[in-house]
Chains A and B, each alone.
Chain A
Amino acid sequence: MNGSTGILRPTRIKLDAGNDSLAITWSDGHSSVYAYSTLRSQCPCATCLGTEGERAAPAAPASLPMFKTALRPVRVEVVGRYALQIFWNDGHSTGIYTFTYLRNLCPCAECAPA
């Protein structure tokens, strides 16, 4: 056999797939739809994870509701052969989402833990 690694890869990635979400079609045919809010809250970068091992708490709500544009990716890039890097509209881009991590994040009924 050849030494290909057989990890699941996306074959198609669609930004703005409706309702502020990103859609991925996988090499096994499965499709996943991720809400932008989920993707951002699950950002795997060291800053978001918190170097002390805890996910950084979201900023406290302001006393007056301020207008904030919704967070969404500006673009995504493939990292080597194993991951996606998401560039957000607030400038955040350090999260490297491995394909395996993304697949485990799939929120569909089939993938969700029972």
Chain B
Amino acid sequence: MSERLHPQDVMKALASVKAAGEMKDIVSLGWVKDVEVEEGAVTVTLALPNSSDPASAVVADSVRREVARLNAGEVRVRLVARHGASSGASSNLIPQVKNTVAVASGKGGVGKSTVAVNLAVALRRAGARVGLMDTDVYGPSVPALIGSRSAPTVVDGKLEPSVEHGIKLISIAYFLPQDEAVIWRGPMLHKTIRQFLEDVRWGELDYLVMDLPPGTGDIQLSLSQTIPLTGAVIVSTPQDVALGVASKAIAMFQKLGVPILGVVENMSGYVCPHCGAREDIFGHGGARAAAARMHFPFLGEIPLAIDIRKQSDRGQPVAEDESTPYGKAFRDVAVELTKQVELARRSASQEIAIE
């Protein structure tokens, strides 16, 4: 062979190599760091998202095979750690989690945790693999609402989440003695959020639902910075005062580039169990109207019902029974949510390529 191979030709050959689970080839993904052509040898440097992953050995083999076809002599593949990691909808911290949904509100006490728990249950009932992360370190209520009896365990230096109602679960409540309070400043909260994402063995999940504390503080900011959230669900009562504060939460997520997946109206109308008359204690339709005004999807209404409170206190999420009006309401919200998640994924699919 008299003519020396051009690195561009090697790149062309590499463009046919795809990694398992990725839609694009390794060149488009930016995994090829460098190609060196010497006399009788080609060295390809690959920067893989996780170079200790067994899948990277498969990629290296495919690279070797493709480049060997060019008959340029010896083929060497070097694997290096990846710098300047890009992140689209999937994050390096939790690569096996498809969608991350934050359940948020402006005001406290609007039923965020109840909605988060029941949404998680409804999604699981629809056949999805679901995780639930209670990021409310000040008032963690998810384990009680879902009737959690077992705590997470540590296996091989990682936290194995407890499983309740088929949902993988993590909460600060597991790590605190009862009646003990978390009095932390931002950096500690940030560390906890990171640990909940990084050091928990979530495994393959379709949805990781995150119950946020109320407001627009450190936790919300840390979460939005640590992973590219698929989107946020805003919970509000129909009341004007709750809606006013909810719009602040919406404004925060917009600033942080997090899509608003939709608004849920909780405590929407009370039907008297004795006479069947309906009383709109916190008003009705306010959240729907607000969502329409701000051009956000409206995901649905959850009625105010004594059974939701009773069952929640017993740790039995009402979404487990779809024959009740509220069980059905949660299922409808979950169906609407999956549609919006799909739309959000599509519109945010473009990755940022870092060179």
Give B196 Cβ to nearest chain A Cβ, in Å. 16
A82-B261 in contact (CB<8A): no
A76-B84 in contact (CB<8A): yes
Give B87 Cβ to nearest chain A Cβ, in Å. 5
In the complex, whether B20 has a CB less than 8 A from a CB of chain A is no
In the complex, whether B354 has a CB less than 8 A from a CB of chain A is yes
Q: Which residues of A contact B253 (CB under 8 A)?
A: 5
Interface size on A, residues (CB 8 A): 26
In the complex, whether A106 has a CB less than 8 A from a CB of chain B is no
A11-B350 in contact (CB<8A): yes
A81-B84 in contact (CB<8A): no
B354-A2 in contact (CB<8A): no
CA distance A14 to B30 in the complex (A): 12
In the complex, whether B212 has a CB less than 8 A from a CB of chain A is no
CA distance A1 to B259 in the complex (A): 11
> Which residues, 1 to 49 on A, are CB-close (under 8 Å) to B?
1-5, 7, 9-15, 27
Give A102 Cβ to nearest chain B Cβ, in Å. 12
Q: Which residues of B contact A3 (CB under 8 A)?
A: 231, 259-262, 296-297, 340, 344
In the complex, whether A99 has a CB less than 8 A from a CB of chain B is yes
B257-A13 in contact (CB<8A): no
Interface size on B, residues (CB 8 A): 35
A82-B255 in contact (CB<8A): yes
Give A1 Cβ to nearest chain B Cβ, in Å. 6
Which B positions have Cβ atoms within 8 angstroms of A? 83-87, 224-229, 231, 253-262, 295-297, 340, 343-344, 347-348, 350, 352-355
The 4 closest A-B pairs by CB, nearest first: A3-B260, A82-B257, A81-B257, A75-B84
What are 18 A-B pairs at a CB distance below 8 A? A2-B340, A3-B261, A3-B340, A4-B343, A5-B258, A7-B254, A9-B350, A12-B353, A14-B355, A74-B83, A78-B86, A78-B228, A78-B354, A80-B228, A81-B228, A81-B256, A82-B255, A82-B258
- Beyond A5-B258, A5-B260, A9-B350: 12 further Cβ-contacts under 8 Å? A3-B262, A3-B296, A4-B259, A12-B353, A13-B355, A15-B354, A78-B87, A80-B226, A80-B257, A81-B224, A82-B224, A83-B225
Which A positions have Cβ atoms within 8 angstroms of B? 1-5, 7, 9-15, 27, 74-83, 96, 99
